[in-house]
Amino acid sequence: MLVPATLMLAILPKEAGAQKRDYAVQPVVFTKVHLQDRFWRPKIDVNAHVTIPYILQMCRRHGRIDNFRKAAGLIPAGDRMTSFTFDDTDIYKLIEGASYSLQAKYDPVLDRELDTLITMIGKAQERDGYLYTFRTANVKYPHAWMGNARWQKEEDLSHELYNSGHLFESAVAHYEATGKRTYLEIAIRNADLLVRTFGPGRVEEWPGHQIVEMGLAKLYRVTGNTGYLQLAKYFLDVRGTKKNAYAKEYSQSSRPLIRQTTAVGHAVRATYMYSGMADVAALTNDDAYLHVIDDIWKDVVFHKLYITGGIGARGNGEAFGPAYDLPNMSAYAETCASIANVFWNERMFLLHGDSKYIDVLEKTLYNGLLSGVSLSGDRFFYPNPLASTGQHARSAWFDCACCITNIARFMPSMPGYVYAQAGNEVYVNLYVANRGRIKLAGGNVVLDQQTDYPWNGRITVHVDPLNNRNFILKLRIPGWAQEQAVPGDLYRYASPEKINPVAVRINGKKVGYTLVKGYAVIRHQWKKGDKVSLDLPMPVRKVLANEQVKADEGRFALQRGPVVYCVEGADQQVKHVTTLVADIADPFTSVYKRDKLSGIVELKGKGYSVTSGTDGRAKKKETAIVAIPYYSWCNRGAGEMAVWIAYTPAQDLTGNGK
């Protein structure tokens, strides 16, 4: 819904005209990209019709809504609130995801449901803008994490500012979806309180759990209020500048940000912060932050990234481990961390216009992020291990439900990662059948992609230049199609192949192009009906890890296009996937299975099972090895699974190497 100009003027403060700087490259918003594919559109529909209603039901059942009702005085406060001081954000993220869904397809029932929730949130807000149900409800036994006064334990576990950050992101999403100002005004009142409260000579604290920086930047873009941007920068600048009990690597506060060079601590906190740093750097032209996040990105991608795109290897502290410490069975790789990794890599791309960031984003999107939700849309993973003996199962709910509600808000926004634009240039970042309308400096352009990606690398883009015949088309040539498993040397293909440059054709005729930062730059005098085509090679590739990753020594992983595979017990002829061994030179074939796991390309190869006989000697038995996309595992019940397949009998698949 378009926001009337009179409404916009009514809500914008005096500073509204001050906003000028931003990312040089801008994403094309998801409402301008209409999916027509067989892969993402059904999953987004499941999110709208199953996941979001399911989460609303579970929030009622598990007290999330009652927290607000207690704070609003609508029901007695009673003895206690729910388990975690950040439980308010489950409602905020639910509204955010539902708002995105409303933009894709209007639902009057859902619209009214959100109005009811927002009215309740407004009643729970205190007169000065403070919004934190755990304190306002005044229960008999207050939560120990929140302290005796506002902000007292903010640098520790109160999550007051974390809640505000999700409130801001949610309110902006709802406003942009509906044009209604009620929820946005709630967020503005809270943000104004933060501006009055925090800063030099006032409350000088950093957020214990980052995201308010991103939320303030988003609220600044909508309102133009420079106070929000200044506060976001203050929260980053003050971090780690004082020594106290809360200055820890866990929350990236043991030293000032400009002195940090590696990724440490809680992976979600960290990547939300790096995303906030990118926003502030773009909006304020702060080069110091750029240098920091460039160094940290390289540390993560070269040393701490799972082949699935997951990050945060350690369950203890949900944290990054040391370089090359990437265990499989105990891999944490939280779903929230994968979502945050997508946020961060998109922002790195917007800063630099380099496809290597989209390579990481795509790897995370199709693997470590998508694995977090079942095909049915109502069962979830919190950690995403890369090996299992059957102890891992998808859950209907978590008492800490952050990953579940994060999935709900992310999925409908996925089309917003397909295209980006700068001046009169359009970037095609992700390949998915869609129709996109893109506003460039030279006028509007319509691109109509036709493809069965990620199962097929053939892509056709039908061009309607409308009134913009001279725009520049930038087609991403993925690193995986150029002999690069990931940017850097953390992973490599086992058998390098001579890869010819990807051919680009216009109306069937091969055209030359310059490859710049991973993009085929196409300059052409466009006319309606022009057809651009390319065919990305998708052989099955075996991937090896850097020799310093001891957990993967003597093993390979399977990848086809952007999709990483695993072996799951349900598909094998042997009892235990830990006994599977393959000759690294033997090929795997691929075939599309329409009726399996909602439609997948399955891989099949030959290998053998190695077991110990009664005499203690190893016994080998030939067997087929079947692999499925990693994201689709554990949709047929709990069972054994492994991403990394042994290719020497001395190895097992426990995640610990020899």
Exposed e or buried b for every residue in 168-203, given b needs 16+ CB within 10 A? bbbbbbbbbbbebbebbebbbbbbbbbbebbbeeee
In DSSP terms, 510 is beta-bridged to: 505
Domain residue spans in the chain? Answer: 62-238, 421-535, 540-646
The token pair that represents 204 in the structure block? 């000088």
CA angle (377 as vertex; 374, 381 as ends), nearest 5: 40
DSSP for 157-194? Answer: T--HHHHHHHHHHHHHHHHHHH---HHHHHHHHHHHHH
Question: What does residue 424 show for φ and ψ, rounded to 5 degrees?
Answer: -110, 25
The token pair that represents 261 in the structure block? 């060079």
Say which CATH topology domain 421-535 has. Answer: Maltose phosphorylase, domain 3 (2.60.420)
Count H helices and E strands in the chain, helices first. 16, 24
In this structure, are residues 13 and 70 in contact, taking their beta carbons and an 8 Å threshold? no
**Neighbour count for residue 363 (Cβ, 10 Å):** 32
The token pair that represents 11 in the structure block? 């809500």
- Looking at residue 19, its pLDDT comes to 54
The token pair that represents 347 in the structure block? 């922002």
Mean pLDDT by 10 residues, the chain (658 residues): 32 45 95 96 97 98 98 98 98 98 93 98 98 98 96 98 98 96 98 98 97 98 98 98 95 97 98 98 93 98 98 98 98 98 98 98 98 98 98 97 98 97 98 98 98 98 97 98 96 88 97 97 97 97 98 97 98 94 94 98 95 80 96 97 83 39
